[in-house]
Chain A
Amino acid sequence: GIQVEQSPPDLILQEGANSTLRCNFSDSVNNLQWFHQNPWGQLINLFYIPSGTKQNGRLSATTVATERYSLLYISSSQTTDSGVYFCAVVPGSARQLTFGSGTQLTVLP
């Protein structure tokens, strides 16, 4: 099956810093989503981005489907950004998500 690798596995930032999270996938995809899992365990949809670039406030994402990677940018990080960020993809022949193992982000005040 498709492999989804996220890096870095852990990231610690001071409040106000910027960061870039990466997601590599091993095959073509129909769908790519970024999620934030907050400390209470809730999964929050950040972006649906199978290709191209999107922005939502301090967050933006870019997917280069031909090179099989996606990047999530967090600018001016806040303590509320802490949690785990997951990349998940729907492979070309499938209909359900395959998740990466996540990036654990800790933002210190």
Chain B
Amino acid sequence: NAGVTQTPKFQVLKTGQSMTLQCAQDMNHEYMSWYRQDPGMGLRLIHYSVGAGITDQGEVPNGYNVSRSTTEDFPLRLLSAAPSQTSVYFCASSSPGQGRYEQYFGPGTRLTVT
């Protein structure tokens, strides 16, 4: 298993540009999430999904859009990039079997908006 994969690893955008961060998992997990990590801080939840076709907002959803058309993929779209979105983005997946919500994280995408 590759686990949770993310592309690209690094990205530089200009203010106002849009882009999509890709996330895929091959563990057949129902739950997938996007987090952002700012310098010196823990991770904060942006959006999450409990299954294909179902998404919901997390703590910091503004400026981001998600959709979940398959179990495997959960892309994160930046609609109009702003310098405040400079961060490291992590995707995670989990399966709630037997009440466990153990999450597995991808390697991250480091995004800089100039």
Contacts and interface: CB of A to CB of B under 8 A. Distances in A.
Interface residues of B, number: 27
Interface in A74-94: 86, 88, 90
B45 A97 contact: yes
Interface residues of A, number: 22
A62 interface: no
Given A33-B103, A48-B102, A95-B96, A101 B42 contact: yes
Contacts of B104: 45
Interface string B43-81: 111001010000000110000000000000000000000
Contacts of A45: 102, 104-105
Contact of A100 (B42, B59, B96, B110): B42
B42 A30 contact: no
Interface in B20-51: 31, 33, 35, 40-45, 48, 50
Interface of B: 31, 33, 35, 40-45, 48, 50, 58-59, 88, 90, 92, 96, 99-105, 107-108, 110
